[in-house]
Each structure stands twice: as C-alpha cells, then as structure tokens.
Amino acid sequence: GNSVTQMEGPVTLSEEAFLTINCTYTATGYPSLFWYVQYPGEGLQLLLKATKADDKGSNKGFEATYRKETTSFHLEKGSVQVSDSAVYFCALSRGAGGTSYGKLTFGQGTILTVHP
C-alpha cells in the first residue's frame, strides 16, 4: 500500500538557518505529493504541492522537488523564521483508480522549533 516516511523530529534551529525535512514515499503509479503545515492550536493547511516528477512546489519561501528516481519530496527553506515553528506533514495521493482513490496518506509529522 501507499506510505509516507518523514525524518525523525523534533527539529530545532536558530533563526535564519537552512531547513531540510526529509520525506520519502512508497506508492505504485504516479502519486501527487504535498506538504501540509500545522501551526500551534490550528488545523492543517496546504503549504505546497507537486503533481508530477521533477515538478517543484513552492510557497512562503519553502520549496520541494518531486524526485521519482529517489521517491523523495524533501522540504527546504533557505532562512527560517520564528514564525515557521509548526508541525510539517508530507502526504501523497494516488488519484484515480483502486481502493485508495481520492485518499491522502500522511506521514507522521515533523515538529520544527525555531529560536530567535
């Protein structure tokens, strides 16, 4: 079945540091890939997405590239801010066909804390 594995957390960084959160996936066919962010006390919200191999999703300074050869979708940001402190979830969807039609599969989440 489909699965998403994220790097172990929590991740603690100083402001303006470079961020990488690793995400790898297992899926048949050609899934779409997503990063969601959950700020303290809130629900998840979509951060960025990529729907085919070599696509780069970007938003709010965050980027992730869909790498089919390594089945990865790592999240990066060049200079984090205190306001980026949140939980980050990698997710995939299979799209049409099969029992997983229309379903999003989430990773376990990575807690990011950014200190001033």
Q: Residue 79 or 108: which CB sits closer to another protein?
A: 108
Alpha carbon 29 to its chain's center: 19
Smallest distance from the beta carbon of 115 to another protein, in angstroms? 22
Residues 94-113: x where in contact with another protein by CB under 8 A, - otherwise, as a string: xxx---xxxxx-xxxx----
Contact between residue 23 and residue 36 where contact means Cβ atoms under 8 Å apart? no
Backbone angles phi, psi at 13, to 5 degrees: -135, 160
| Site for another protein contains 34 (CB under 8 A) | yes
Among 45, 59, 81, 83, binds another protein (CB under 8 A): 45
Contact between residue 38 and residue 24 where contact means Cβ atoms under 8 Å apart? no
